[in-house]
Structure 1
């Protein structure tokens, strides 16, 4: 007897695999640039958002630079970078030392990049030592400031800037403050008010998700983020850069 169609299990989820061509292209970029440039620099890009990443790429690969001064920044998965380097470890002495640096990294959800450049290592280090970006705090990061929302009318920056330079927060946001962030607010004469000061966080405190959302709601982007230079390889000297 044929199987009833009513009893068939139909999968409703539509799971698509990552484009194989994109993976191949990424791997080719890693390998081709390794052969083209003098130095290979491993970077931890976990603390940099997408806009800052675009800016970094433009700075190192600007059309205004001479061809020999242009570098390439390739973002990829840890295992993809390791595989591309391993394909050339017989070709370049001591390249396995750079591979070992990346293999020791066990940070969850980390974003890694490889900067291929002809600039000397000192120039690269000086650039990233001075590269500092301010952004909104992330969950489990340390609070950059002590933040308290003053009692009375709540302003858009929550007292972070002088009242004369600020404007009262839109009354439509009151339910969000009260229900989502559990800030004991109320509406009086069409304005959001607090009966007492509200403590959000202490400087150096590890922030939870709600605290980060409150800081973002009040436009406080004082957390500082840097790019970590994990290691570099000099192809000409066939050694780890110092």
Structure 2
């Protein structure tokens, strides 16, 4: 009997691969920007969050262009050898493109760029694999959400989720309540998925999104200056996920 076409498993996470034409267009786009701007920075992101990367795009849209993701394509566009490079000396920067890094074109002076990114480090929620930066103990009584000011108790319909995540709650007057203090996490310990979700639910932020500038290419001299030789720590990479759609959007930050 022929197999029913209706009995097929369809992956909702499947992503269409980029065509040769699309990669070629991206290479051309990067090379055009290399000709246009005075500086090209290599950067790495700690505690990656797509929303914060889009904020960077918005704030720099009039004075910079950013490409993030697809490192092999970015390196090929700049050229990794003196014979292949699109601008004098830029191959020294291209050879450093490894892992989850991006390039940032601008005419802004280096002091302005470094000062801006040093100051831009918004707080965000930790993910599983991050280390707790402080010990959090939930007190006896109603479980509170600290998103709101003043904090408010969780609604009754969220009590099953709180119990599923490890809280021993009971219902008192329709409010999820702890009958004894509960240590949610301990400083320095790696967070579990359940702990990370609870921290997000109660509104406790434990990580900082950071863009770390690694090196800078200067069009006028053709030289590459190392800015920060240290790499993003494994803890800052924990839980980092850049979905394909977001990566595509981040590739053309104008």
Same fold at TM > 0.5: yes
Describe the shift of the 1:46–1:32 C-alpha distance in structure 2 as closer, same or farther (beyond 3 A).
farther
Question: TM-score, normalization: structure 2?
Answer: 0.76
Of 227, 232, 235, 2:211 maps to 227
Of 173, 187, 212, 1:189 maps to 173
In the alignment, which residue of structure 1 is the partner of 2:17?
18
Q: What CA distance in whole angstroms lies between the structure 2 residues aligned with 1:217 and 1:33? A: 42
Aligned residues: 220
Question: TM-score, normalization: structure 1?
Answer: 0.79
Q: What CA distance in whole angstroms lies between the structure 1 residues aligned with 2:142 and 2:16? A: 51
Describe the shift of the 1:143–1:45 C-alpha distance in structure 2 as closer, same or farther (beyond 3 A).
same
Secondary structure, aligned partner of 2:55: helix
Unaligned runs of 5+ in 1: 63-69
Of 67, 74, 82, 1:74 maps to 67
Secondary structure, aligned partner of 1:132: coil
In the alignment, which residue of structure 1 is the partner of 2:154?
169
Unaligned runs of 5+ in 2: 227-254
Q: How does 1:1-242 map to 2 (within 5 A)?
A: 6=2, 13=10, 17-20=16-19, 22-62=22-62, 70-86=63-79, 89-90=82-83, 91=85, 92-103=87-98, 105=99, 110=100, 112-157=101-146, 165-179=150-164, 181-241=165-225
Q: What CA distance in whole angstroms lies between the structure 2 residues aligned with 1:96 and 1:153? A: 59
In the alignment, which residue of structure 1 is the partner of 2:243?
none
Give 1:197 shift: 0.5
Describe the shift of the 1:88–1:73 C-alpha distance in structure 2 as closer, same or farther (beyond 3 A).
farther
Secondary structure, aligned partner of 2:157: helix
- The alignment's C-alpha RMSD in Å is 2.7
What do residues 113-159 of structure 1 show as CA deviations (whole Å, max 9, x unaligned)?
Answer: 211111222222121111111111122122233211111222223xx
Contact 2:46 2:210 in 1 (8 A): no
Contact 1:47 1:227 in 2 (8 A): no
Give 1:17 shift: 2.4
Q: What CA distance in whole angstroms lies between the structure 2 residues aligned with 1:11 and 1:210? A: 33
Q: What CA distance in whole angstroms lies between the structure 2 residues aligned with 1:40 and 1:89? A: 17
Describe the shift of the 1:22–1:166 C-alpha distance in structure 2 as closer, same or farther (beyond 3 A).
same
Describe the shift of the 1:12–1:183 C-alpha distance in structure 2 as closer, same or farther (beyond 3 A).
closer
